[in-house]
Chain A
């Protein structure tokens, strides 16, 4: 779907993007992660042809990206604005027409989206009459109004309450199900875990990590497990003996705990279950996968340490 090949961009002496290549597959939600100032927004602007790269190329469906391709792209920038004096409908018509829709089509699609979000009464309201969250919903609608095949969203969830975060996530999943491709730049790691298929981590203008969310978590796991049980803690610890090491425990209530464990020697998850079975009443047991938050922090810190050592 989208191929980013050896993109570099500098602003005077500051390198904003340093030879980044990646590809986004059709019908996937791709997370673009990175700390502030890493170069995510610059890369997104390059994809949207807002700024030109110094080197490299971008291909969309095998063709070099040109201005006319933008009609099939929906872009929601991080710092987004609306004309305060215009109504929601006028705004939608303006942006829809700029993306190649006829006025009539815009009106029909706007009605559909307003109905979906149950905000039909906002149609004739001026932007200045809306709250920040309401305006953000309008911005989201304006971005997807022309039914783009590629959706690029820069921090789409910032400023939304949990209900609306859930609403937007559901919409993104629905779009993915329709075959749309979505690039999501966000700091909301929970959403990344929930909806992203693959991610790329950009740090200090370079891509330092790319892959499936599950693969990255798998690669970063430390062999830790958790057991939720009911029973005597001393009996539980005694049962572990020398085969397992308890790292952490959480008291849930009277005789109810969650224990975090690490294997010793050749022991595995099945051995653990066999060991504690009969000693306590097991409610749940699972392997602990690192969160994307953990992976993000770990990778960024390790990169920073490497730079300091050099």
Chain B
């Protein structure tokens, strides 16, 4: 084991000294953080700041129209309201040069207080976030006017009484809304991270073993260390590099998310950060950005990370055995491609199986994929994000156990192939050759 560790440390040192590792370690998390920032900022489609024309014609007793040329008590960074106290036809707004700077037109008439119907004519469809915000602000102003004109209570008292109805639609076959939940996508993301790491570092194992074989270093090493320890050391060393890479990603992304929360998206935790005069008037956080809410609020990230690490380690060992075996048994550095392709296809299939599990979480095939060691890491991550049904938590551990056992069996098989194949050169790898190498020589 000591020699395996020496080999592992050499591999680790070589990997972390390589330019590719440094670039991936530094750029990777920043790319993901940038992606998350964009997702948080532009969670919905559409423009992020709007210039709105409010057409509020003069009333007999009110020359400034029903709204009195105001909507918000203070300025809103994202929406600018301009008022016009005359009628404007939609065609005129659409075509007239003086209205081209406006993104939307809100039409107000005196009946709005009773029928609560109001139209917003837009040039480009606003995001959900923008729609929610305008809806809220117009309604809020209407409440003020209504209370002022028709009630004998203060606006503050009215707002205390008024509570929005939270009406949620749920599928009777999926009362916990697991299948359509965005949490599944986060599980999928974790699963894909595992697969991407396995692919990147699996290929590194393949290349490294092939290089040692073709450059004949393997024989020098085998004179001091047995073949199984050599293979294991290589897999562990490259795995440590992958783990280190992941740890860097996790740390940088974690710090990045913390700073985003503190400096860029504080409103999701503190409603008073909205620029309203009264904290109680703030929009509920859930309406602000579903992605921000999902990442920071609704996922048990620590629990997911724990299982992510376990599945990451054991699925890496499982797949690494294949890559090492192919590298050791190939006749040359270019040989063995025909065996790498199916392995890559299996990796792609495991990504698809995660998507399948999202769509059909309760199907029998999903159950199979959940235990199938090739697909388990992604499917388990998806199911973990969705949440296991009460009393079914054991399935997670059963899948992990299956993966561990499969990994051990594969490492033993790969060890045999490695031993018998590492010093054989010049042949063309095929199934017959592979079968022969598997037998004791």
A81 touches B423 (CB 8 A): no
Q: A45-B423, A50-B423, A51-B441 are in contact. Are A95 and B224 (CB under 8 A)?
A: yes
B215 touches A81 (CB 8 A): yes
B219 touches A50 (CB 8 A): yes
Mask of A3-20 contacts with B, CB within 8 angstroms, 1/0: 000000001100000000
A77 touches B220 (CB 8 A): yes
Q: A77-B216, A94-B6, A94-B10 are in contact. Are A50 and B223 (CB under 8 A)?
A: yes
Q: A77-B220, A81-B215, A82-B217 are in contact. Are A11 and B441 (CB under 8 A)?
A: yes
Residue of A nearest to B420 (CB): A51
**A99 contacts chain B at the CB level, 8 A cutoff:** yes
A75 touches B223 (CB 8 A): yes
Q: How far is the CB of A114 from chain B (nearest CB, A)?
A: 19
Docked Cα-Cα span, A52 to B416, in Å, equals: 13
**A240 contacts chain B at the CB level, 8 A cutoff:** no
A79 touches B224 (CB 8 A): no
B212 touches A98 (CB 8 A): no
Partner of B224, one of A82, A83, A99: A99
Q: How far is the CB of B6 from chain A (nearest CB, A)?
A: 5
> For chains A and B in complex, what number of residue pairs have CB atoms within 8 angstroms?
60
Q: How far is the CB of B192 from chain A (nearest CB, A)?
A: 31
Mask of A84-103 contacts with B, CB within 8 angstroms, 1/0: 11100000001101110000
Tell me the dominant secondary structure on chain A's binding face.
loop
**B222 contacts chain A at the CB level, 8 A cutoff:** yes
**B193 contacts chain A at the CB level, 8 A cutoff:** no
Residue of B nearest to A82 (CB): B217
Q: A51-B423, A79-B216, A95-B220 are in contact. Are A67 and B226 (CB under 8 A)?
A: yes
Task: Name the residue among A67, A73, A97, A142 with the largest chain B CB count within 10 angstroms.
Answer: A97
CB contact list, B159-210 vs A, under 8 A: none
B6 touches A80 (CB 8 A): no
B222 touches A50 (CB 8 A): yes
Contacts of A71 in B (CB 8 A): 224
Task: Name the residue among B221, B224, B441 with the largest chain A CB count within 10 angstroms.
Answer: B224
**B3 contacts chain A at the CB level, 8 A cutoff:** yes
B226 touches A81 (CB 8 A): no
Docked Cα-Cα span, A82 to B218, in Å, equals: 9
Docked Cα-Cα span, A285 to B10, in Å, equals: 61
CB contact list, A55-69 vs B, under 8 A: 67
Docked Cα-Cα span, A80 to B217, in Å, equals: 6
Contacts of B441 in A (CB 8 A): 11, 51-52
Q: A11-B441, A51-B441, A80-B216 are in contact. Are A85 and B14 (CB under 8 A)?
A: yes
A81 touches B436 (CB 8 A): no
**A70 contacts chain B at the CB level, 8 A cutoff:** yes
**B225 contacts chain A at the CB level, 8 A cutoff:** yes
B221 touches A98 (CB 8 A): yes
Contacts of B212 in A (CB 8 A): 81
Partner of B217, one of A52, A67, A75, A81: A81
Range of interface residues on chain A?
20 to 34
Contacts of A206 in B (CB 8 A): none
Residue of B nearest to A70 (CB): B224
Docked Cα-Cα span, A79 to B214, in Å, equals: 10
Task: Name the residue among A71, A77, A98 with the largest chain B CB count within 10 angstroms.
Answer: A98
Residue of A nearest to B213 (CB): A81
Residue of B nearest to A76 (CB): B220
Contacts of B215 in A (CB 8 A): 81-82, 84
Contacts of A142 in B (CB 8 A): 220
Contacts of A48 in B (CB 8 A): 222-223
Partner of B220, one of A12, A51, A80: A80
A98 touches B217 (CB 8 A): no
Docked Cα-Cα span, A11 to B437, in Å, equals: 10
Contacts of B222 in A (CB 8 A): 48, 50
Contacts of A11 in B (CB 8 A): 441
Contacts of A51 in B (CB 8 A): 423, 441
Residue of A nearest to B424 (CB): A11
B217 touches A73 (CB 8 A): no
A77 touches B6 (CB 8 A): no
Contacts of B219 in A (CB 8 A): 45, 50, 77, 79-81
Q: How far is the CB of B210 from chain A (nearest CB, A)?
A: 12
Task: Name the residue among A45, A77, A80, A139 with the largest chain B CB count within 10 angstroms.
Answer: A77
Contacts of B226 in A (CB 8 A): 49, 67
Residue of B nearest to A12 (CB): B436
Q: How far is the CB of B120 from chain A (nearest CB, A)?
A: 64
Residue of A nearest to B217 (CB): A81
Q: How far is the CB of B142 from chain A (nearest CB, A)?
A: 72
Docked Cα-Cα span, A77 to B216, in Å, equals: 9
Q: How far is the CB of A266 from chain B (nearest CB, A)?
A: 56
Docked Cα-Cα span, A309 to B441, in Å, equals: 33
Contacts of B6 in A (CB 8 A): 94, 97-98
Residue of A nearest to B422 (CB): A50
Residue of B nearest to A97 (CB): B6
Mask of A33-60 contacts with B, CB within 8 angstroms, 1/0: 0000000000001001111100000000
Known: A49-B226, A67-B226, A98-B6. 12 other contacts (CB 8 A): A50-B423, A77-B219, A77-B220, A79-B219, A80-B216, A81-B217, A81-B219, A83-B217, A97-B6, A98-B3, A98-B221, A98-B224
Q: Lowest 7 A-B CB distances belong to which pairs?
A: A81-B215, A81-B217, A75-B223, A81-B216, A98-B224, A79-B216, A77-B219
> Can you sample 25 A-B contacts with CB below 8 Å?
A12-B436, A45-B423, A50-B219, A50-B223, A50-B423, A51-B423, A51-B441, A70-B223, A75-B223, A77-B219, A79-B219, A80-B216, A80-B220, A81-B215, A81-B216, A81-B217, A81-B219, A82-B220, A83-B14, A83-B217, A86-B14, A94-B10, A98-B221, A98-B225, A142-B220
